[in-house]
Structure 1
Amino acid sequence: MDILNKKNEYSRELYHDMKNHILCMKYDANIEKSNSYIEKVELLLEEYGNKFNTGNIILDTVLHEKNNLCLRNNITFTCDINFKNCSFMEDEDICSIFSNLLDNAIEACLKVEPSKRNIILKGLSMDSIFVAKLSNSTNNDINFKDNEFMTTKTNKLLHGIGLKSVKSTLKKYDGEILFDFDKNIFYTKILIPIP
């Protein structure tokens, strides 16, 4: 919560200073310098603007942080989640599920050329179940063996834990996770029953 409060404060300061930023850009005769200045301000606005409103502050914070990672790595991140009906879930479980899934998606995107990096996350409640669908670019370097994904990293003890954590957390809520992939896209779907 402290991190979110600090970011919100910085965001308010940035918006407050916007008039001065615009003045500086308006009267700078050097077009190239002005364009560079505009790009920096746009990136700051994008990074600190509150663009997530899922109905859960923990999920909003996770999405905000992962969006910043995407911005810094030229990954297009599209997100549309309504998580209001999932207040029964514990904060640490929400953080674990979405942080691990998005970290994996970002990691996969980094193996793809920048112009093709893309992550789409959508989620909503349907009847008495929350469904989230995540798709991300991939280079097709997927190691799937015995109905499990194997880490492609050299230190097997320290990696591959995130997905196991997601599965065990979902199990706590009688939820499940499904995967699919093709040549260029990896798909993840999570299903969580709403009590």
Structure 2
Amino acid sequence: MTILLRNLAECLFLAYSISFLLYHRKSFSVRPGYWIYFSIALLIHFSFSAGWGLALSSHYGALAFLGIIILELKCMYKMNMMQLLFEGSYFVASLYWARGIVLPSFALCLGQSVQWVRHDESCYRLAWVISLCIMLLYHELFRRVIAPQQKMEKLYRSHEQLRFVAIFQTMLLGYMLFINLGRYYGLDLPWYKLTYIVSCVICFFTQGFLVKHGIRISILIEAEMHKQLLQKQLSRQLQHYNAYQKYTESFRAFKHDYKNMMTSVKSLLSAGEYSKAERMLDTIHDTMQKQVLVHKTYSNHIILDTVLQDAANMCEEHSIRFSAMAYIPVVLEIADIDIVRIFSNLTDNAIEACAKVASESERFLSVTSSVNKENGWLTVEMSNSFHGEANMRNGMPKSTKENQEIHGIGLSVVSDTVESLGGLMKIDVNHQEKIFTIKLLFPISL
């Protein structure tokens, strides 16, 4: 019976480990050698399960396993430190709390101490199996109801909220490890066991509440960002239409006099006054250049053109040389709001970086595009000058704006939007030449 319970416990622990490790493939990019690290991780989990179930101290075991989980996730996925801490502490803390509910419950029911339960192999193996069943049920509840994947991705993007949840969750684990020290000092009394059970239950509820609260705040932050993008889109469309209105009004004013001027040219030609007619044509040309506004076009996509028009105006205000010609193929299915979400963030960041360059002659912003017909990819490249210091965090430049909770996720949103279209975003920072370049690659069907 003991061997059966031991094998069942190890199988349940491996099932929990596999579910946990594979879950993150949906949210994070995998690193080279992923399956090798995955296999090593399962071997470590199997060995650790056997060891933790028999001899290892729960304190040292929990802390050691937390470090192992973080290292495993680091080798397998492209996660930042807060994401690693959150997922690592979630795995270990939830397992530790489930164990902390079952063992004292067994001790209370049997009228024995927790130490007796731990050293009685049959009772301990049964308690371990029940703990893992509770953990698997909670894991399913957590991933499907409390923190489903789509909502968790929003929390992963919100650095401040994730940091708060990850640190607090780790502190809850540390708190229970501290409370557990009481069993070494003769506090193995019924009230202590009951207190320990209630504390573990509270930790579960607190963890769920914290994660749900963090997700809700992250969703509100992105909703605020989405609202700002919609307002930008409307504002830029109005600016675009106003520019067209000024162009048509200036052309209408020129057209009003054009008929009379051309009549004069015809009269001069009929009278053989060719030199005067030529001067009159030059006058008409000069008048058109002065009166008719030139409307520059930066893209064949009207929404992208409005974004680039606005960027051009801002560059003029900050004495930044601006050049852009971005061709968007009709076959690329991209929503207008995604155009605004991507390029307004990029141009705003580029202009902010350019404005910090001391020498006005060195400030520039360039946007180009190209289509590779052989492999069916559209490449949009944006380059700008910067002051030479780029604080990078997890491959992304750290925002220097005051409200970093909103602005700090800008490039992450751009990256996620591009990837949702099947594309890629690449960042290249040339500190020597002080040039910051972002390349966007979109798959297209030609």
What is the TM-score normalised by the length of structure 1?
0.77
Instruction: Confirm or deny: 8 A CA contact 1:75 1:117 kept in the other structure.
Output: yes
1:56-82: CA deviations, max 9, x gaps?
111111111111111111110111222
Distance 1:151 1:86, change over 3 A: farther
Instruction: Please show how residues 103-122 of structure 1 align to structure 2 within 5 Å.
Output: 103-113=348-358, 114-122=360-368
Count, aligned residues: 171
Structure 1 residue 53 displacement after superposition: 4.8
Q: Distance in 2 between matches of 1:117 and 1:15?
A: 34
Amino acid at match of 1:60: D
Aligned partner of 2:180 in structure 1 is none
Aligned partner of 2:240 in structure 1 is 4
Structure 1 residue 86 displacement after superposition: 4.8
Q: Distance in 2 between matches of 1:51 and 1:158?
A: 32
Structure 1 residue 155 displacement after superposition: 3.4
Unaligned runs of 5+ in 2: 1-236, 256-288
Distance 1:110 1:53, change over 3 A: closer
- Does 2:346 match 1:101? yes
Aligned partner of 2:369 in structure 1 is 123
Instruction: Please show how residues 10-159 of structure 1 align to structure 2 within 5 Å.
Output: 10-15=246-251, 49-113=294-358, 114-127=360-373, 128-159=376-407
Q: Which moved more, 1:182-191 or 1:51-60?
A: 51-60
Structure in which a larger fraction of residues adopt strand: 1
Distance 1:63 1:148, change over 3 A: closer
Higher relative contact order (CA 8 A, sep 6+): 1
Amino acid at match of 1:143: N
Structure 1 residue 101 displacement after superposition: 0.7
Distance 1:66 1:49, change over 3 A: farther
Q: Distance in 2 between matches of 1:15 and 1:72?
A: 26
1:71-101: CA deviations, max 9, x gaps?
1111101112221345411111111111111
Amino acid at match of 2:370: L
1:90-124: CA deviations, max 9, x gaps?
11111111111111110000000222110111012
Instruction: Confirm or deny: 8 A CA contact 1:136 1:186 kept in the other structure.
Output: yes
Aligned partner of 1:23 in structure 2 is none
1:36-71: CA deviations, max 9, x gaps?
xxxxx99xx8xx742125221111111111111111
Q: Distance in 1 between matches of 2:389 and 2:252?
A: 46
Q: Which moved more, 1:112-121 or 1:154-163?
A: 154-163
Amino acid at match of 2:366: I
Aligned partner of 1:168 in structure 2 is 416
Aligned partner of 1:24 in structure 2 is none
Give the match's secondary structure for 2:295. Answer: coil
Amino acid at match of 1:187: T
Structure 1 residue 145 displacement after superposition: 2.6
Distance 1:141 1:154, change over 3 A: farther
Distance 1:3 1:87, change over 3 A: farther
Distance 1:15 1:73, change over 3 A: farther
1:109-142: CA deviations, max 9, x gaps?
0000222110111012212111011110001121
Aligned partner of 1:192 in structure 2 is 442
Out of 427, 430, 441, the residue aligned to residue 182 of structure 1 is: 430
Q: Distance in 2 between matches of 1:141 and 1:61?
A: 30
Q: Distance in 1 between matches of 2:299 and 2:421?
A: 20
Structure in which a larger fraction of residues adopt helix: 2
Q: Distance in 1 between matches of 2:254 and 2:318?
A: 25
Percent of residue pairs bearing the same amino acid type? 32
Distance 1:17 1:189, change over 3 A: same
